[in-house]
Amino acid sequence: MYLWRPLLWLLFITTIESAKAGRRFYNWEVRRELRSRDHYKIVTINGKSPGPTIQVNLADHVFVKVTNRMGEIVSIHWDGVRQIESLGFDGIEGVARGPIRPGKAFIYHLIADRLGKSQYYSSYIKQKNDGLRGLIEILPAETVTYDYDMSIVLDDRYYRSNYSFAADSELLLIPRKGKLDCAELTTPSSHPTACYPNNFEYSHWKVVPGKTYRLKISSLTAKSTLCFQIECHNLTVVEAYGHYVEPVQNLLVDSGRTYSVLVKANQNPLRNYLIMTNIVGQNNTATSPLGLAVLSYSSSAGPIRNHVTPQLVQSVGSKAGPAYHMMLAFLLMLAWLIRRLSKC
């Protein structure tokens, strides 16, 4: 007789929960375009590579319409999104669903059910290598104190064709900027066109002395693990891949991983400091690239762009010198870094 009352209450609760959750809509077109400064055709989303960041709130429903404007099939995987009861939207081609064929479109439905940052990328490794990847950020409640936010996206690039294999990437970007050493390419055939090193520059961040910055560090590399560091500055990790952790110091960033770190601007404000990444692991030789950017204080002179030498002179004890770059083993590199950092 009164069975309708629990049903009415359930409907009321469901309505309230739906009202809390927002709906976000994205419309993407995927193409191959000549967009990068190194004259290499990359895969873009709405003209960008890496693609647009999906930034939503916890419990939001996200709808992404992907239109394939390439001459090849495509499928996008949403890493870190659990897709509970919605495996058909997971994007793993051949497992969860079929690919999006050229000229066709598909709408993915995601539910933001876990805090923090993760990434999306093509299920096809070559498309991922060529730039079809981006960030997903599900905004958490703040539990740490800081003054300013900064976002740093680590990326890499390969220049070989679909039919050859490169153990490590040939260019590291912080973010979207870096310098390719043409002389260190393994073979002339590994680069599809002429090498234009002067087309590159370094990213540059300025900080205010005494302030604390939360850096959101995300790796969109195809497969490389990177060692990230800021010369003479400690990194206190407060969030890792959507989960909070105890503060630590040293940061190895795997492909697809994200971290939030606190950095205190408490060093000598009259000089510049290098932000660096290097590949950890296999084939770490002289031809392995370094990702470089510059951190300076608001009272210091700006760095000279497109020229490494002046920056190295400004940064006494810089870790981007020849000895660092020629290290053949990760353990030797780690020991050297500990000695250098102890002087900061």
What pLDDT shows up at residue 256? 73
Least confident of 153-162, 232-241, 269-278: 153-162
Give the DSSP letter string of 175-214. Answer: SS-----GGG-S-GGGSSS---GGG---EEEEE-TT-EEE
Q: Using an 8 Å Cβ cutoff, are 110 and 55 in contact?
A: no
Amino acid residing at 242: G
Q: In the predicted model, is pLDDT for residue 175 greater than 90?
A: no
Instruction: Tell me whether the omega of the peptide bond preceding residue 50 falls within 30 degrees of 0, making it cis.
Output: yes
Cα–Cα distance for residue pair 214/143, rounded to 1 Å: 12
Question: Tell me, which fold does domain 21-139 have in CATH?
Answer: Immunoglobulin-like (2.60.40)
Q: In the predicted model, is pLDDT for residue 106 greater than 60?
A: yes
Mean pLDDT of the residues in the chain: 71
* Between 271 and 65, the higher pLDDT residue: 65
301-310 tens-digit pLDDT: 544 444 343 3
Cα 6 to Cα 1, 10, 11: the distances in Å are: 11, 6, 9
What pLDDT shows up at residue 313? 34
Q: Using an 8 Å Cβ cutoff, are 24 and 61 in contact?
A: yes
Q: In the predicted model, is pLDDT for residue 202 greater than 70?
A: yes
Sheet (strand 258-264) strand order: 171-173, 148-157, 212-219, 258-264, 236-240
pTM: 0.52
Q: In the predicted model, is pLDDT for residue 93 greater than 90?
A: no
Q: Which residue has the tokens 């492909």?
A: 255
User: Comparing C-alpha atoms, which of 202, 201, 259, 271 is closest to residue 233?
Assistant: 271
Q: Using an 8 Å Cβ cutoff, are 254 and 218 in contact?
A: no
Confidence of residue 159 (pLDDT cuts 50, 70, 90): low
Return the structure tokens found at 34: 């000549």
Least confident of 37-41, 273-277, 283-287: 283-287
169 phi, psi to nearest 5 deg: -65, 160
Cα–Cα distance for residue pair 56/231, rounded to 1 Å: 33
* CB neighbour list of residue 56: distance below 8 Å, 6 or more residues apart: 22, 24, 62, 112, 136, 137, 138, 139
Highest mean pLDDT: which range of 95-99, 182-186, 327-331: 95-99
* Between 27 and 140, the higher pLDDT residue: 27
Q: In the predicted model, is pLDDT for residue 236 greater than 80?
A: yes
Amino acid residing at 296: S
Q: In the predicted model, is pLDDT for residue 41 greater than 90?
A: no
How does DSSP classify residue 97? B
Summarize the confidence of residues 283-298 as an average pLDDT: 73
Question: Tell me, which fold does domain 148-341 have in CATH?
Answer: Immunoglobulin-like (2.60.40)
Pinpoint the residues of the chain covered by CATH 2.60.40.420.
21-139, 148-341
Sheet (strand 105-111) strand order: 41-45, 23-34, 61-68, 105-111
Q: In the predicted model, is pLDDT for residue 138 greater than 80?
A: yes
H/E element, 277: strand 272-280
Amino acid residing at 218: S
